[in-house]
Chain A
Amino acid sequence: MKLGLVIDLDVCVGCHACAVACKQWNTSGTTGALSDYEPYGKQPSGVWFNRVRNFEVGDYPNNKTINFPMSCMHCEDAACVTVCPTGASYKREEDGVVLVDQDKCMGCNYCSWACPYGARELDKVSGTMKKCTLCIDRIYDQELAPEDRQPSCVITCPAHARHFGDFEDPNSNVSTLVRERGGRALMPELGYNPTNKYLPPRVARPVPTDDVKMDLVSKVKNWVNKAISK
């Protein structure tokens, strides 16, 4: 299997639900707790696996706002794994999920420097690198209802902009979406073969108006009444 996410930029409104759901699940998850530094003080920050960036394209008035959630792409050629000196970082053979074995990680940060997607963060308290696990502690949990065996970011997304599935299966939901909507990888030129794909904004259909243009009426008296039963 090649598990990963499809993120639909046509409907992502940048609400951060995915980011907080991820934080919520994973702080009690397999690599938790996820530290929050100065949670009630100056410049609060913390460990997050998923962050929503937003930026603008074009100058006013021809501008567009893009919301862009970013998390681990579970690359096929993951540089973060290659550079790991302790063997803590690895890509699972059975499903392609990239993980960090917390017992082996020494928090050297090499992986975060190697990752062009900003997916890895150092937890200063545990001294280990942490990252998206694709909710490995949810997706195989037989005790959860089948529809709940998905990453927490996917089940929570209010705009249904996130989809989880197996890219190896050409008929899976994610493969179909990528095919039909022209899904693409982020920065493929770097050569890491990201598994996650983004769907570009759709182009809205043009709405015709010629068929509702009439001879312009400018006075009430121009109307002829229609006899319509109440």
Chain B
Amino acid sequence: MAKTSQAAKPLPKFEDHSKQETKYTTCYMCACRCGIKVTIEDNKVRFIQGNRDHPINQGVLCAKGNAGIMKQQSPAKLRKPLLRKQNAERGKAEFEEISWDKALDILTERLQNIRDTDPKKLAYFTGRDQMQALTGLWASQFGTINWAAHGGFCSVNMAAGGLYTMGHAFWEFGDPDWDRTKYFMMWGVAEDHSSNPIKIGIEKLKRNGGKFVAVNPVRTGYQAVADEWVGIRPGTDAMLALSMIHVLLQNEQFDWEFLIRYTNAPYLVVNTPGQKGDGLILRDEDGKPLAWDLEKEDFVDATQVDIKPALFWEGQAADGRPVRTSMSILAEKYLDSEYSPENAEKVCGVPAEQIERLALEMAHVAFKETITVDVEWTDWAGRKHDKFIGRPVSMHAMRGISAHSNGFQTCRALHFLQILLGTVDVPGGHLAKAPYPKHIPPGIKPAKDCAPNTPLSSPPLGFPTCPEDLVINEDGSPKRIDKAYSWDAPVSSHGMMHMVITNAWKGDPYPIDTLMMFMANMSWNSTMNTAEVMKMLADKDENGEYKIPFLVIADAFHSEIVNYADLVLPDTTYLERFDTVSMLDRPISEPHAACDSIRHAVLTPDRDVRSWQEVQVELAKRLKFPAFTKEDGTPKFQDYKDFIVNFEKAPGIGFLAGWRGKDGKSHLRGEPNPNQWEAYIENGAFFKYDLPENMHFYRFANKDYLEMAKEVGWNGSTDQIVIELYSETMQRFRLAGQGLYDGPMPTKEEHKERLKTYFDPLPFHYTPLEEQRINSEEYPFHAVNQRPMYMYHSWDSQNAWLRQITAQNYLFMNRQKGEEMGIEDKSWVWVESHNGRIRVQVKLMEGVEPNTVWTWNAIGKQSGAWGLKPDADESQKGFLMNHLISELLPAKNGEMEITNSDPITGQAAWYDLKVKIYPAHEGEEGSFPEFETIKPLPNATKPDHVQEHKGQEVGRYQSHDAVNLKRPLGDILTRGKK
């Protein structure tokens, strides 16, 4: 800071702080959920800055967070509930404004009728919200299994890949140990995810002299500052990771102790191909897994303490069946020349020399630069250790891994690298964040059945471990509208939101009555096959009835989907609402602290809107959900705030973990505290429970941690969490595909093939599914999307400040490739896939792998949406790649019609897209396809900071009049010369 006392001339009072108030709350410009300090004067925002005490952002704030004022000023804010006019066609934006009472009456009547008869006829899907604990509870209480959030088209592969392997995962479930790591490898991370913590972390790593390697087909964003860029071909990351494992195995660079103590590598696996039970873990009579003890020279319960299990062993079980250790299978598989760097080079486009060197560099850092943290801790078996051993290699991965149909196995392959190097939850490695790690997988099973006026018996989403857990009918047909947990995608743990509209439109597996969506732009950038989905939303049957009879949209802004609503429920902005970022949900914990946070209304809305949180609770009251209703039939909770304070999931466990107990002195678990909101507000809107030092690492096998995790309800047991290299879950499904399972098995050939091929208990590389069904010579380019850092994971590409940075997206392609093809910089080209074509403007660049083209996603807008003028660049020159991506795999050669998703998890395979590119004819300019301009909503108003100036619209926002600093007279006279 400047040495203030030395300022020679007194300065004017620029800010009248007596008229200002500062309030702490939580940002929502993206899903990062940073703490913010908001300065307000006159119910207007003066300044939003990062909260220095906040665990997530530690005072810093990204471009989106800094543009919050323009979100608040947006002309796209919805102002009042809207009802489609009686004789107006859906999709024509003919709305009348109605009162909240009327809106809620209409909705309650409709929902009550569904709940009384057939609750699954309500499909309730939510977008990028952070209140899945509440919306999921609401759906469970309503009694519909047709609920999910957006994870199925976002990153379920990352969550499932981690949770089915090591009990935590990337991003919200784990982070690199930024303070100690010396080598950081980042895979398929676009410009963000998460926003500020990665930027803080990368700077720390580089300051500490660590190396940063970025694996990504595109060199922008984080890749720009990487010490080494690996420009990989999209969809081939598993091959790269497994080839590095090949190198590690060849050079015997893996952590023997870690594998034996903490993973199922020594477990024995039955090796009887073609017979029932093949590939399952050898177990004793009590179901305990067996290992071969090197000293006893006998089979032992592998979960016991102080055994000496063989990591490599092959022999016969007592009953004569051949068995071998998981590690033996693993090593044999990856030592195969298929995974040699030379072969991987052909698949990934990464030089063999580089693959080998990177693998060995990580081995060097893990094993020759080992670190220790001298803290006494107790392992799961009660043995004391005087230090934590750390292997300072860390990783992060995101959408570039998850958004492929091979993403689950790819994500597992990355975790395998981490595990073989012994870097999981160790100092310098990849650390879990509370309430993770969980047992593998978490012990929640998806609900299967609905009944009138009856809550579900378990949550709608969970983690299957065998075919019995699928949500299917006797004949194997799906029970859910999105076909999650069916043979199409058995482990679809986040649902499959991207299939809902298509399936509901087709009535496959059955027609629904009402589709209710919150914060999900499913007629535009959040859907595949956009143009067709728009038609489906407004399509009618032979009787003239809409195929999707009733569409309810809750949103704060005039997004494209609002246009298709029958009923619009306007939400508040993040500065106008009460909200929780709960540990029951997607928490904001840090590796060494359990955290949650709140939002509270720091501004008063200037329009007739209600937060969706509040509306949920109100509907629950009206529909008399058991969890929201007293025995005498009166509501249990007055409103959302009351619900948050008093609802208990289990005794003492609620949405907020801090300041519980009547006196507010209990943390993590305790009785409801009537003053809990006040406590949060007083403490900067977040709660941070620092874990004691002995619980910082090895938490999968850390006695004190495991006991605490059970005590506070994070885990159901104190058993050691055994990392699953070998996945018996996968093998059970594979056996079902092979016809060798005692339980449900698929009947369709294609399903059997998918199970046999993809449900490998050990990760492998396979060509993404779309590519398998098209001719790659016809469609030679991979086409992928990312969002720029200043818009990532946000709803703000219409933001008046941020759109000045980017209002038009281009198709970026490798310069040399473009020149070879006669494509000039800034020229217009056609991009064509098996599903359609779009016309876009090209920019040539160096930093993209030659077989890949890419663009900024969600810049393109439908004309008239988001409060933008009809001729805004976003609609005239911007474009969506979504038109090219089908929600179904191509089936031109008579293949089965099936979702364009990961065959294991149902993750939408956005990045599998392959295209061809050719120049547009002269005069063919502007983006294609074009859509009609959406009409403005009733009473749409211009923001108060916008004025006309010489025929132009000008925004001039300020929270107070400027105080000019005058140049002193003496300075003018001397022209600044002393």
How far, in whole Å, are A227 and B954 apart by their CA atoms in the complex?
A: 75
A58 & B846 in contact (Cβ 8 Å cutoff)? yes
Chain A residue at smallest Cβ distance from B802: A20
- Residue A116 at the chain B interface, CB threshold 8 Å: no
B957 & A33 in contact (Cβ 8 Å cutoff)? yes
Nearest 3 pairs of A and B residues by beta carbon: A204-B227, A158-B199, A209-B360
B801 & A23 in contact (Cβ 8 Å cutoff)? yes
- Residue B86 at the chain A interface, CB threshold 8 Å: no
Q: Nearest Cβ distance between residue B936 and chain A, in whole angstroms?
A: 12
Number of interface residues of B (CB under 8 A): 136
- Residue A143 at the chain B interface, CB threshold 8 Å: yes
- Residue A115 at the chain B interface, CB threshold 8 Å: no
How far, in whole Å, are A139 and B1 apart by their CA atoms in the complex?
A: 6
Chain A residues whose C-beta falls within 8 Å of the C-beta of B807 in the assembled complex = 43-44
Known: A63-B219, A211-B364, A214-B253. A41 touches B967 (CB 8 A): no
Q: Which residues of B contact A (CB under 8 A)?
A: 1-4, 6-9, 11, 14-15, 17, 46-50, 52, 57, 59-67, 69, 75, 183, 191, 195-196, 199-200, 202-203, 206, 209, 211-212, 219-225, 227-228, 231, 249-253, 256-257, 260-261, 266, 294-295, 302, 304-313, 328, 331-332, 335, 357, 360-361, 363-365, 367-368, 789-790, 798, 800-805, 807, 814-816, 845-848, 850, 867-869, 871-873, 876, 945-946, 949-950, 952-960, 962-967, 971-972, 975-976, 978
Task: Specify which of B304, B873, B876 lies most central, judged by the most chain A CB atoms within 10 Å of its CB.
Answer: B873
Chain A residues whose C-beta falls within 8 Å of the C-beta of B200 in the assembled complex = 158-160
How far, in whole Å, are A225 and B11 apart by their CA atoms in the complex?
A: 76
Chain A residues whose C-beta falls within 8 Å of the C-beta of B52 in the assembled complex = 147
- Residue A189 at the chain B interface, CB threshold 8 Å: no
Known: A21-B66, A101-B966, A101-B967. A1 touches B361 (CB 8 A): no
A44 & B252 in contact (Cβ 8 Å cutoff)? no
Known: A24-B48, A214-B253, A230-B261. A13 touches B789 (CB 8 A): yes
Known: A10-B225, A93-B971. A30 touches B872 (CB 8 A): no
How far, in whole Å, are A33 and B328 apart by their CA atoms in the complex?
A: 69
Chain A residues whose C-beta falls within 8 Å of the C-beta of B958 in the assembled complex = 27-28, 32-33
How far, in whole Å, are A143 and B11 apart by their CA atoms in the complex?
A: 13
How far, in whole Å, are A104 and B62 apart by their CA atoms in the complex?
A: 35
Chain B residues whose C-beta falls within 8 Å of the C-beta of A60 in the assembled complex = 231, 814-816, 846-848, 850
Chain A residues whose C-beta falls within 8 Å of the C-beta of B59 in the assembled complex = 155
Q: Nearest Cβ distance between residue A196 and chain B, in whole angstroms?
A: 15
Chain B residues whose C-beta falls within 8 Å of the C-beta of A133 in the assembled complex = 965
Q: List 23 A-B contacts (CB under 8 A).
A: A20-B67, A21-B49, A28-B958, A28-B962, A34-B956, A35-B949, A35-B955, A36-B955, A38-B953, A46-B801, A59-B815, A60-B815, A60-B816, A60-B848, A87-B975, A101-B964, A103-B966, A142-B4, A143-B15, A143-B17, A158-B61, A159-B200, A213-B251
How far, in whole Å, are A123 and B36 apart by their CA atoms in the complex?
A: 30
Chain A 151-173 interface residues, beta-carbon cutoff 8 Å to B: 152, 155-161, 164, 166
B2 & A149 in contact (Cβ 8 Å cutoff)? yes
The residue from B4, B61, B221, B965 contacting A21, defined by CB atoms under 8 A apart: B61
B790 & A16 in contact (Cβ 8 Å cutoff)? yes
A90 & B367 in contact (Cβ 8 Å cutoff)? no
Chain A residues whose C-beta falls within 8 Å of the C-beta of B308 in the assembled complex = 227-230
B50 & A125 in contact (Cβ 8 Å cutoff)? no
How far, in whole Å, are A21 and B335 apart by their CA atoms in the complex?
A: 52
A205 & B209 in contact (Cβ 8 Å cutoff)? yes
Chain A 78-100 interface residues, beta-carbon cutoff 8 Å to B: 81, 87-88, 90-91, 93-95, 99
Chain B residue at smallest Cβ distance from A63: B846
Q: Mark A201-224, 1 if CB is under 8 A from B, else 0.
A: 110110111011110111110010
A56 & B847 in contact (Cβ 8 Å cutoff)? yes
Chain A 48-84 interface residues, beta-carbon cutoff 8 Å to B: 48, 54, 56, 58-61, 63-67, 81
B364 & A56 in contact (Cβ 8 Å cutoff)? no
- Besides A11-B206, A36-B955, A60-B815, 5 other A-B contacts (C-beta < 8 A): A13-B225, A42-B871, A44-B872, A101-B964, A211-B368
Q: Nearest Cβ distance between residue A209 and chain B, in whole angstroms?
A: 4
- Residue A45 at the chain B interface, CB threshold 8 Å: yes
Chain A 85-137 interface residues, beta-carbon cutoff 8 Å to B: 87-88, 90-91, 93-95, 99, 101-104, 124-125, 133, 136-137
A28 & B203 in contact (Cβ 8 Å cutoff)? no
B14 & A30 in contact (Cβ 8 Å cutoff)? yes
B800 & A44 in contact (Cβ 8 Å cutoff)? yes
Chain A residue at smallest Cβ distance from B800: A39
B1 & A146 in contact (Cβ 8 Å cutoff)? yes
Chain A residues whose C-beta falls within 8 Å of the C-beta of B220 in the assembled complex = 14, 54, 65
Chain B residues whose C-beta falls within 8 Å of the C-beta of A29 in the assembled complex = 14, 962
The residue from A24, A59, A202, A227 contacting B206, defined by CB atoms under 8 A apart: A202
Q: Nearest Cβ distance between residue B201 and chain A, in whole angstroms?
A: 9
B962 & A31 in contact (Cβ 8 Å cutoff)? yes
How far, in whole Å, are A36 and B585 apart by their CA atoms in the complex?
A: 39
Chain A residues whose C-beta falls within 8 Å of the C-beta of B801 in the assembled complex = 20, 23-24, 36, 46
How far, in whole Å, are A220 and B971 apart by their CA atoms in the complex?
A: 82
How far, in whole Å, are A81 and B972 apart by their CA atoms in the complex?
A: 11
Known: A65-B224, A140-B7, A230-B309. A15 touches B789 (CB 8 A): yes
- Residue A3 at the chain B interface, CB threshold 8 Å: yes
Chain A residues whose C-beta falls within 8 Å of the C-beta of B219 in the assembled complex = 63-65
Chain B residues whose C-beta falls within 8 Å of the C-beta of A81 in the assembled complex = 976
B62 & A158 in contact (Cβ 8 Å cutoff)? yes
How far, in whole Å, are A33 and B56 apart by their CA atoms in the complex?
A: 31
A156 & B804 in contact (Cβ 8 Å cutoff)? no
Chain A residue at smallest Cβ distance from B305: A230
Q: Nearest Cβ distance between residue B350 and chain A, in whole angstroms?
A: 10
Chain B residues whose C-beta falls within 8 Å of the C-beta of A219 in the assembled complex = 332, 335
B954 & A125 in contact (Cβ 8 Å cutoff)? yes
The residue from B302, B332, B365, B962 contacting A32, defined by CB atoms under 8 A apart: B962
Known: A23-B801, A44-B800. A33 touches B203 (CB 8 A): no
Q: Nearest Cβ distance between residue B140 and chain A, in whole angstroms?
A: 38
B224 & A46 in contact (Cβ 8 Å cutoff)? no
Q: Nearest Cβ distance between residue B92 and chain A, in whole angstroms?
A: 22
B257 & A228 in contact (Cβ 8 Å cutoff)? yes
The residue from A102, A136, A209 contacting B11, defined by CB atoms under 8 A apart: A136
The residue from B67, B196, B804 contacting A46, defined by CB atoms under 8 A apart: B804
B957 & A87 in contact (Cβ 8 Å cutoff)? no
Known: A103-B964, A157-B60, A204-B211. A39 touches B871 (CB 8 A): no
The residue from A14, A91, A140, A225 contacting B310, defined by CB atoms under 8 A apart: A225
Q: Nearest Cβ distance between residue B793 and chain A, in whole angstroms?
A: 13
The residue from A43, A88, A95 contacting B967, defined by CB atoms under 8 A apart: A88
The residue from B47, B199, B804 contacting A24, defined by CB atoms under 8 A apart: B47
B253 & A158 in contact (Cβ 8 Å cutoff)? no
How far, in whole Å, are A45 and B804 apart by their CA atoms in the complex?
A: 5
How far, in whole Å, are A2 and B212 apart by their CA atoms in the complex?
A: 35
A28 & B364 in contact (Cβ 8 Å cutoff)? no
Chain B residues whose C-beta falls within 8 Å of the C-beta of A104 in the assembled complex = 967
The residue from B15, B225, B364, B972 contacting A87, defined by CB atoms under 8 A apart: B972
B4 & A149 in contact (Cβ 8 Å cutoff)? yes
B357 & A209 in contact (Cβ 8 Å cutoff)? yes
A17 & B63 in contact (Cβ 8 Å cutoff)? yes
- Residue A195 at the chain B interface, CB threshold 8 Å: no
A15 & B62 in contact (Cβ 8 Å cutoff)? yes
Known: A207-B365, A217-B335. A28 touches B66 (CB 8 A): no
B311 & A226 in contact (Cβ 8 Å cutoff)? yes
A226 & B331 in contact (Cβ 8 Å cutoff)? no
B183 & A207 in contact (Cβ 8 Å cutoff)? yes
A225 & B311 in contact (Cβ 8 Å cutoff)? yes
A209 & B364 in contact (Cβ 8 Å cutoff)? yes
A14 & B221 in contact (Cβ 8 Å cutoff)? yes
How far, in whole Å, are A91 and B978 apart by their CA atoms in the complex?
A: 12
Chain A residue at smallest Cβ distance from B41: A28
B304 & A230 in contact (Cβ 8 Å cutoff)? yes
Chain B residue at smallest Cβ distance from A89: B967
How far, in whole Å, are A188 and B46 apart by their CA atoms in the complex?
A: 37
Chain A residues whose C-beta falls within 8 Å of the C-beta of B211 in the assembled complex = 204-205, 207
